[in-house]
Structure 1
Amino acid sequence: MATLYDVPADALIEALADRLADEVEQPDWARFTKTGTGRELPPEQDDFWVTRAGSLLRRVAVDGEVGVDRLTTAYGGSKGGSNRYQVAPARATEGSGKIVRTILQQLEEVGYVETAEGEGRRVTAEGRSLLDETAGDVLEDLDRPELERYA
C-alpha cells in the first residue's frame, strides 16, 4: 500500500486538489487577498484555493501536530531585493494566517483534520485514508522510468 511518502509531493498535491474540489470551497474574499505580506498581488491561478488545501493537508500529515503560526512561516517567502520597487535586502516574511486558518477550518468540517488541544492541528484517520488512497492512485499513474527517478 502506498503512502504519501512514496510519491512526489507535487503530483500528490495536484491529485488531492482534484479530490478536494467538491469538498472545499473558496470564499468570495479570497479573490482579492494576497497570500502574504511579501506579495504584491493575489494569486492568478483559478484553482489556487483547492491546491493550497491539498498542500496544507499534506503538510499537516507530514509535520504531525502543527499550528497556524508554523504553517504561515512555511508558506511565507521573502520581501525585498527580488520584488519590484525595492532596494532593501531581502528578509523573511510570513504567509497569510487567514488563508491557512480558513482552509484548516474547512478541512475540519469535512473531517480530514482535527484540533489537538494545545498542540495545533493533526490529520484524522479519514484524512490519512484519503492521503493514502490518493498516493496509491498517483503511484499507478506514474510511468516506471519516471518512478525510478523519484526512488
Structure 2
Amino acid sequence: MTTLFDVPAEDLNEALAERLADEDAVAAPDWARFVKTGTGRELPPEQEDFWQRRAASLLRKVAVDGPVGVGTLRGEYGDSSKGSTRYKVRPKRSTKGSGNIIRTALQQLEEAGYIETAQGEGRRVTGDGRSLLDETAGDVLEELDRPELERYA
C-alpha cells in the first residue's frame, strides 16, 4: 500500500490541492487576496490556487509532524533563510508566517473532517485525512514515471 511518504512532497501537494479544489473542501476567504503570507513579505501571493496549495501542504505537514500547533506551523511557513538584506547594515532576520492564513485553512480542513483538534497538543490528522493522503499518493505514484520510484509500484 502506498503512503504519503512514498512520493515526493511537491507532487503530492499539487495533486492534493487539485483534489481539495474539486471537492470544494477548502475555499479561499474574501480577504485572502489582499493579505501577505508573513511579515517578511511585501506582496500577497499571485497564484490563483494559493489557498488550496497551502491547505494541501498544511494537511501533509500535520500528517507528518502531528500533533502540531499553529505557532510551530508559523515557523515552518515563515521566511528563515532569506530575509531582507537590510542594506548590509545589520544581519538578516527570520520572520514567521501568517497565523491567520494557517489557522483559517486548518479550520476549513477540520470542517471537512480531515483534521481534528488534540486538546493541549495541537492538531492531528483523522482517519479520513490519512486515507485521502494515501489515496492521492497512490494516484501520484501511478502517474509518475521515474526509475527511482519503480520499487514502490
Band the TM-score falls in, shorter-chain normalisation: over 0.9
SS of match in other structure, 2:51: helix
The residue number in structure 1 matching 2:49 is 47
- In structure 2, what is the equivalent of residue 120 of structure 1? 122
Q: CA deviation at 1:5?
A: 0.3
Which of 60, 63, 69 aligns to 2:62? It is 60
**Structure 2: distance between partners of 1:59 and 1:15:** 15
Percent identical:
72
Give the equivalent residue in structure 1 for 2:17.
17
The corresponding residue for 1:37 is 39
Partner of 2:99: 97
Normalized per residue, the structure richer in strand is 1
In 1, Cα distance between the equivalents of 2:84 and 2:41? 10
Mark the runs of 5 or more structure 1 residues left unpaired by the alignment.
none
Cα distance between partner residues in 2 of 1:57 and 1:90: 30
1:18-77 Cα shifts (integer Å, max 9, x gaps):
011121000010000000000000000000000000000000000020000000000000
Q: What is the match of residue 2 of structure 1?
A: 2
What TM-score comes out, normalization by structure 1 length? Answer: 0.92
1:134 Cα deviation from its structure 2 partner: 0.2
Query: How is 1:71-150 mapped onto 2 (pairs within 5 angstroms)?
Result: 71-78=73-80, 79-81=83-85, 86-87=87-88, 88-145=90-147, 147=149
Give 1:144 shift.
3.7
Q: Distance in 2 between matches of 1:102 and 1:142?
A: 32
CA 2–40 in structure 1, closer or farther in 2 if over 3 Å, else same? same
TM-score by length of 2: 0.91
Instruction: Return the offset for 1:86.
Output: 4.3
In structure 2, the residue corresponding to 1:91 is in which secondary structure?
coil
Q: What's the CA shift for 1:145?
A: 2.2
Stretches of structure 2 that go unaligned for 5 or more consecutive residues are none
